[in-house]
Amino acid sequence: MLRRAEYGGERAIVERHGKPIAAIVSTDDVRRLEAAEDTADLRDAQVALTEATQEGTVPLETVLRKYGLDHLLAGPALRASRPRRAVRARVSAKRPRKTNRRRRQAPLNG
């Protein structure tokens, strides 16, 4: 089946319980699909950029404040209104490693 996809360009649908879950296709088909997706993504990005240029944009700070998410803003000046939580000190002492292995004891008769 893989050779037929690779050399013959055949496509196969893999099913589980009668439902398609995957496909076996040639790498040429995958490259063409990815190129088509890239073209569509580029077109969508160009449309969004044109729309933003014509209609303007809204700063992220404004959107976050509008929806009560101003705690997500970066920088101390922008976060001044948010109450600060107490900071706990981190303990840096290393704990002994747990192990289930028993150490071999050296024989008493050397």
Top pLDDT among 11 and 95 is at 11
**Band (78; pLDDT cuts 50, 70, 90):** very low
Q: What is the pLDDT of residue 5?
A: 87
pTM confidence score? 0.49
Q: What is the 3-state secondary structure (H, E, C) of the chain?
A: CHHHHHHHCCCEEEEECCEEEEEECCHHHHHHHHHHHHHHHHHHHHHHHHHHHHHCCCCHHHHHHHCCCHHHCCCCCCCCCCCCCCCCCCCCCCCCCCCCCCCCCCCCCC
